Amino acid sequence: MTLQEKLRDLDTGTTAHFLKIGMIGAILIGLCLIYTLVQFKGLACETAMDQAQIARSLMSGKGFSTLYIRPLAIRQLSIADKKIPAKDFPDFYNAPLYPIVESLALLPAKKHLAMSTTDIISNGDRSIAILGVTLLLIGTVVWYFVARLMFDHSLAILSVGLILATDLMWQFAISGLPQHLLIIFFGLVTYCSLKASHANQEENDFQVLLWLAGAGLGLGLMSLTNGITALFVPGFLVFCLIGFSARIRAFLVPLTIYLLCIAPWLFRNMAVCGNPFGLSIYAALAGAGVTETSIMRGASTDLMLGGGMATKFRSGLMDQAAHLWEYLGLNIVIISFVVSLMHPFRSSFASLWRWIILLMWFGVSIGMTFFGVSGTISANQLHILFLPTFIIFGLAFLLVLWNRLEISLKPLRIAFLTLIFVLSGTPMLLTLIVGQTARIQWPPYVPPFISILQNWFQKEEVLCSDMPWAVAWYAERKCLLLPETVKAFDEISDYSTLGSPIVGLYLTPISGRDDFLSLVKGVNKEWGPVIMRTINLDEFLLKSFTPLPIDGQCILYADTERWARKTIK
């Protein structure tokens, strides 16, 4: 090869192609490292820690068992005449798929999950954050192929760039929540639907049904990751009925595959607790003003269920509407998606899929209304799943408008695209510039001083806490969610319902930050003296206590002065 040919290959040939891929890869790796190092300070979400400790149980060969025990779970087993196990308490609250994936991510750190008091972030937290970032990158690849198949290569590359420029996508990546796995599955559902549409145009019924079966499988995997995503299915079935010539078969095949996918888990829950939907269904049935935590702490399954549903529905939708742009990552391109609904795209699939997306979005929004969305980064915040689709359609519409201006100057086009990226990426840029405000997720989590509980209590002993998910994850000890009443607490301990008496009570700012009126008349009224540390220990089950960091805002009650003992192996 002559020098001229080598230079041409370096500029436009195979070498140039690999250089571009290498450059993009280096940029992505650098971005992942920078964002994780600057922003990650451990897990901060209850669901993330809960699923992580279940993943550890799976990795240890204990199956879908949990160390985080909800009083309602005990009640549910009693109602179903099921034995309450002294060991390996079954989990029937969480969807199963993400803990399975997490268990694989935890394997390399299996022997190094325990924390010491000198650690700031646990190796388990780091493993889960690496998993989240990996899923984010895999998701962008999936959505690149979706956008390329729907429109073209250039728009696909720009769409992927806008997805990666959205700060909320990175926040979810390091949160420990399963949203990025859901985004991957939703991308696969969209890709299969698009391929089925193409096969329908070619009148290849076998290919149509094969791709729709794949879409049904993807929807099933989504429901096994988060049950609320089952509300994607009605909108998708509408697409099957109106988008294909063989309507009945196009409707039945994906529906059958979907049901076959989720059926084993429903049967498992039915066998374990007598309810195919487990505990999570009670959160949806709770009336207005009743929090999920209150339900899970209650000793009765009829805890204000069904009251004020109309009020709950109205306030839930209004809350989502008020924070919608925030839930969609503050990405400016999202606005253009709404306007794009009026534009007749040349692709028949694209024109139809926009309205199907709206149907799915509406269905999931209803589900989020009943189950509740506790914040921008929360387990039930599923608006983020639609962000890649909205970006693809919104950007396509913006490029159509730009092309209609017939501006041939390439620098102006580059300036236009740069402006879109700057506006979309500003929240992420500001996040990186400001950096962390603290090294740990305080309040209320102090991981090294939660993990110390494993040195003071043995594995077969039972603890109680207002944050049992964190005790289960960081201390690897069985921990009961603080019951609604002291009487229920005493009964569970006296009868050794969980295999042994309760020997420790760990209270944190989760209950301590309640105002005085809440402690007197609110959900913690019976626990007020214990939380405020005015309880007469002679009248309480646990006779010893010690304040714990930070600044004594956490407190541990115990049967004896465990902290004065030697470390328990």
Task: Mean pLDDT check: name the lowest of 205-209, 311-315, 538-542.
Answer: 311-315
pLDDT tens-place string over residues 204-228: 999 999 999 999 999 999 999 999 9
Average pLDDT over residues 182-194: 97
Number of structural domains found in the chain: 3
**CA 77 – CA 85 distance, rounded (Å):** 10
pLDDT tens-place string over residues 226-257: 999 999 999 999 999 999 988 999 999 999 99
Domain span at 106? 46-122
**Looking at residue 343, what is its pLDDT?**
85
Q: Does residue 224 lie in a domain region?
A: yes
**Looking at residue 348, what is its pLDDT?**
85
Residue where a domain terminates, one of 403, 434, 465: 434
Q: Does residue 8 lie in a domain region?
A: no
What is the average pLDDT score of the chain?
90
Q: Does residue 29 lie in a domain region?
A: no
Residue where a domain terminates, one of 74, 98, 122: 122
Contacting residues for 42 by C-beta, under 8 A, at least 6 apart: 120, 121, 122, 125, 440, 441, 445, 447
Q: Are 551 and 529 in contact (CB under 8 A)?
A: no
Are residues 359 and 504 located together in one domain of the fold?
no
pLDDT tens-place string over residues 460-483: 999 999 999 999 999 999 999 999
- What count of Cα atoms within 13 Å lies in the side-chain half-sphere of residue 72? 21
pLDDT band at 175 (very low <50, low <70, confident <90, very high): very high
pLDDT band at 16 (very low <50, low <70, confident <90, very high): low
Are residues 175 and 284 located together in one domain of the fold?
yes
Q: Does residue 24 lie in a domain region?
A: no
Are residues 417 and 455 located together in one domain of the fold?
no
Are residues 118 and 265 located together in one domain of the fold?
no
pLDDT tens-place string over residues 387-442: 999 999 999 999 999 988 888 888 999 999 999 999 999 999 999 888 777 788 99
Are residues 422 and 482 located together in one domain of the fold?
no
Average pLDDT over residues 130-152: 95
Tokens of 503: 């020997």
Q: Does residue 250 lie in a domain region?
A: yes
Residue where a domain terminates, one of 76, 106, 122: 122
Are residues 355 and 318 located together in one domain of the fold?
yes
Percent of all residues in the chain with a pLDDT value above 70, rounded to a whole number? 93
**Looking at residue 344, what is its pLDDT?**
85
Are residues 185 and 118 located together in one domain of the fold?
no
Residue 286 phi, psi (nearest 5): -65, 140
Are residues 248 and 281 located together in one domain of the fold?
yes
Q: Does residue 330 lie in a domain region?
A: yes
State yes or no: cis peptide before 108, omega within 30 of 0: no
**CA 169 – CA 112 distance, rounded (Å):** 28
Does the pLDDT at position 45 exceed 90?
yes
Are residues 194 and 293 located together in one domain of the fold?
yes
**Looking at residue 80, what is its pLDDT?**
93
Q: Does residue 556 lie in a domain region?
A: yes
Are residues 100 and 144 located together in one domain of the fold?
no
Q: Does residue 321 lie in a domain region?
A: yes
Are residues 131 and 118 located together in one domain of the fold?
no
pLDDT tens-place string over residues 48-85: 999 999 999 999 999 999 999 999 999 999 999 999 99
pLDDT tens-place string over residues 523-534: 788 899 999 898
- Per-residue DSSP letter, 561: -
Are residues 194 and 54 located together in one domain of the fold?
no
Could you tell me how many residues make up the chain? 569
